[in-house]
Homo-oligomer: A and B are copies of this chain.
Amino acid sequence: MNEIKLFCPATIANVSCGFDVLGLCLESTGDQMLIRKVSTPGVRITKIEGQQLPLEAEKNVAGVAALALLKDLDLDFGFEIEIIKIIKPGSGIGSSAASAAGAVFGINKLLGMPFNPTQLVGFAIQGEALASGTAHADNVAPALLGGFTLVKGYTPLEVIKLNTPKQLFATVIHPQIEVKTADARSVLKQSIPLKKAIVQWGNLAGLVSALYTEDYELLSRCLHDEIIEPMRSPLIPGFHKVKEAVNKAGALGSGISGSGPSIFALSKGKAMAEKVAVAMGDVYKDFGVDYDLHISGINTEGVKVLS
């Protein structure tokens, strides 16, 4: 096998109560990537469709992640990467993570899979570091492992794949508002009340239990963010109206996707996820803000081989 075509999924990081540790992988929203083994050593990004992004490997998240993987291998051949970018950068659904994850997954496949998924996450976060300044794994982990993932820690890096309830669907609205990751980071307070932290970790522990027992009602009761959402939601006009509308429509819960501006909701069943999408869209229609909508099952596989 000298060439591989991939689906590189979008992802939702944090998932309300799991700031910096939890993430989930989407089924129907993602980029495409073609990776080709070539005789010239190194990594070349030969084509990017859909977005204006740097072609130099050292300045491109896919390139940096690929170079991280290849660094210690001393190969006498190399790789070309073509990217069809569907996920908009800055949307909050893991655009850079999809590219980083796709690059390391594909090259690992073409090399005969010398690396395990955790090692791949370790390479991919070096691409994330280029995109956002921090080597965070909460998008690349679900993009590579699929389903719900937990980043247990970084020293050493440990990622855990959790169970995914079968009837869970996600709805994501991306209002065309710019929220810079740096701004989303700068509003975070460095110190938080112990009382709120206890509520947050009670919710996260309950959410993890609900994922394993596939208890949708418990999952719904745990989808609250005591800490980060109150700090970040003022950056997203219409956020509270969307939350109100999706609750009324019957979603299990909702929150900021990653650092925003996308807002996600989780629902039981596809029909409910579609109803929630209409409710979300109506809010931004009233605001006169353009938006993209995604309705998606949970992708329990991660990056997929298309051909």
Whether, in the assembled complex, A203 has its beta carbon less than 8 Å from a beta carbon of chain B, the answer is: yes
Distance A22 CA – B201 CA, assembled complex (angstroms): 10
Nearest-neighbour CB distance to chain B for A232, whole angstroms, equals 13
Bound-state CA distance A167–B70 (Å) is 42
A150 to B204, CA, bound (A): 11
Whether A194 contacts B190 in the complex (CB less than 8 A), given A153-B199, A158-B221, A221-B152, comes out as yes
A235 CB–B CB distance under 8 Å: no
A208-261 residues at the B interface, CB under 8 angstroms: 208-209, 212-213, 218, 221-222, 227
Could you say which residues of chain B place their CB within 8 Å of the CB of A17? 201
Given A188-B194, A194-B190, are A209 and B162 neighbors across the interface (CB < 8 Å)? yes
Question: What is the chain B residue whose CB lies nearest that of A156?
Answer: B221
Contacts of A152 in B (CB 8 A): 202-203, 205-206, 218, 221-222
Q: Is A289 an interface residue (CB 8 A)?
A: no
Would A160 and B208 be within 8 Å (CB), given that A21-B201, A193-B191, A201-B201 are in contact?
no
For residue A227, which residues in chain B have a CB less than 8 angstroms away from its CB? 194, 197
Known: A160-B218, A218-B160, A221-B152. A197 touches B199 (CB 8 A): no
A1 at the interface (CB under 8 A from B): no
Q: Is A192 an interface residue (CB 8 A)?
A: yes
A18 interfacial contact with B, CB 8 Å: yes
B19 touches A198 (CB 8 A): yes
Contacts of A209 in B (CB 8 A): 150, 160, 162, 208, 212
Q: Which residues of B contact A285 (CB under 8 A)?
A: none
Identity of the chain B residue whose Cβ is nearest the Cβ of A162 in the assembled complex? B209
Residues in chain B near residue A205, CB distance under 8 A:
18, 21-22, 150, 152, 201, 204-205, 207-208
Docked CA distance A149–B213 (Å)? 14
Interface residues of A in 144-179 (CB under 8 A from B): 150-153, 158, 160, 162-163
Counting chain B CB atoms within 10 Å of each CB, which of A17, A203, A204 scores highest? A204
Given contacts A152-B206, A206-B160, A218-B160, contact A200 B199 (CB under 8 A): no
Residues of B within 8 A of A150 (CB): 202, 205-206, 209
Q: How far is the CA of A163 from the CA of B203 in the complex (A)?
A: 17
CA distance A152 to B224 in the complex (A): 12
Let me know if A20 is at the binding interface, CB within 8 A: yes
Residues from 9 to 60 in A contacting B, C-beta threshold 8 Å: 17-22
Q: With a CB–CB cut-off of 8 A, which chain B residues contact A195?
A: 190
List residues of A (248-307) whose CB comes within 8 Å of B's CBs. none
Q: What are 19 A-B contacts with C-beta separation under 8 Å?
A: A20-B202, A21-B198, A22-B205, A150-B206, A152-B202, A152-B206, A153-B199, A160-B218, A189-B194, A191-B192, A192-B193, A192-B194, A192-B197, A197-B200, A197-B201, A200-B201, A201-B204, A205-B207, A208-B208
Besides A162-B209, A190-B194, 11 other A-B contacts (C-beta < 8 A): A17-B201, A19-B198, A22-B205, A150-B205, A152-B203, A153-B199, A160-B209, A192-B193, A197-B201, A204-B205, A205-B207
